[in-house]
Structure 1
Amino acid sequence: TAWPGVTKPPEQGGLGFDIKWNMGWMHDSLSYIEKDPIYRSYAHGTMTFGMIYAYSEHFILPISHDEVVYGKGSLLTKMPGDEWQKFANLRSYLAFMWGHPGKKLLFMGSEIAQPGEWNHDGSVSWDVLDRPQHVGIQRLVKDLNGLYADEPALQFGDFHSEGFEWAAADDAVNSVLGMLRYTPDRASSVLVMSNFTPVPRYGYRIGVPQDGVWIERMTTDAREYGGSGLVNGAVSSEPIPAHGRPVSLSLTLPPLATIFLKGPSF
């Protein structure tokens, strides 16, 4: 993990691999999401720290099998709160992962919120798909994959720093994180907003780089995923400066949720 240049070409002194597992991001983000939301404001930096070194290698964001065995529990059982909050936390975390720079890797069973940790003597717990909450997680992962494949802005910044900016990195008090993803020509952008508390945020103002109508492409709080159904739909920017940008949006941030908004194209 600590070896430098894993994904640099051999002629530059590297090992020539295509992608390297970002174990630091995995450990940091899991340690954050496992905390009760009331304590997350004190650990806010663990969710932003990964961007300091994100472009030192070509990274993949892994959920390793080591994190769901040996008594560590499954992704679902790591989540704090009651049953609704556990599923909401997991949905928000997975969507944050898909919005964050880096390719994506889930260990089997995580895409259906398998309750038990991995057992190499048994199969994935497919029977949980008899329950709507687990179907919601499966549908979300499918739709996240579809959105990722459909939006070049969610791909370019994986390996290119000019494809990423923090929209809001310092709102530890509300445990809100915002990311902006861009296409190479910056003609298209996607705003990713995560609210890691169970408190809905109404009228949350966030600066954006493009004036016009922003369309909500996905919210993990949608009812088809098991959420409460708070949506933004289409949101028009206003000439109110925020976060160093000349225009901004007034958003509803659902509880324990991540949302994706597509900006107007130039």
Structure 2
Amino acid sequence: MDKNNPIGIFDSGVGGSSIWQEIHKLLPFENTIYLADSKNAPYGYKSSKEITALSIKNVEKLLELGSKIIVVACNTATTNAISTLRENYDIPIIGIEPAIKPAALQTTSKSIGILATKGTLSSALFSRTTKEFTKDISVVEIIGEGLVPLIEAGNLDGPEMISLLKKYIKPLIEANVDYVVLGCSHYPYIIPQLKKLLPENVKIIDSGEAVARQTKIVLQSLDLLREENTKPKLEFFTNAETDTLKFLLKDYAKKISIEKKDF
């Protein structure tokens, strides 16, 4: 495998670009290819079989495009399909899980909230992780129904978004949580709105930094890190409209290419 081959990243839409940002921040010289499967978003209400089939399709495309490692930048795809992907492909595959462990270790109120999709919260992997780390802790699980389509549409702070967030936050405040774990890679884009609505003492945790660190560790161990001080190629492909990706990644506009592509 060539060091110059790209890091391949996929999500059920634009949300995983929040993971891409963390990877690019930590590994600024790496070539990257991002697939936004927005045509099939959200994955959260599909069956495990459908999610696995879509994940395989995305991995096949990223392999076709020469990826040296693949990051599943989608909680629902990780919790439902990661085992199958790792069984079927030799390439290193990094997954993303809700950051339950750090929240459980750091909570002082012994009450944490998890905002995630139905597909993540109902998965076996999520259930195992939660049981392992939250034995003496109250866990309030909230399905963020309707949030992904709004984020996919670029509607981050409209009345509909704020109304939904208020509804989902209410039981978290009532349960006196001091940590809210984001269990969907789309949700970091609404952290500013969440911070305005949650009490000041509540900390929000997402998995982006941890995924970026793990990606670096694996590439280092395989001697696949690209040479520093070389200009990277940063490509984004979506099978729906490009406007939301352009909006979410406007700070990177001069460095990246965004293209509509069938996959």
Q: TM-score range by the shorter chain?
A: 0.3 to 0.5
Higher strand share: 1
Higher helix share: 2
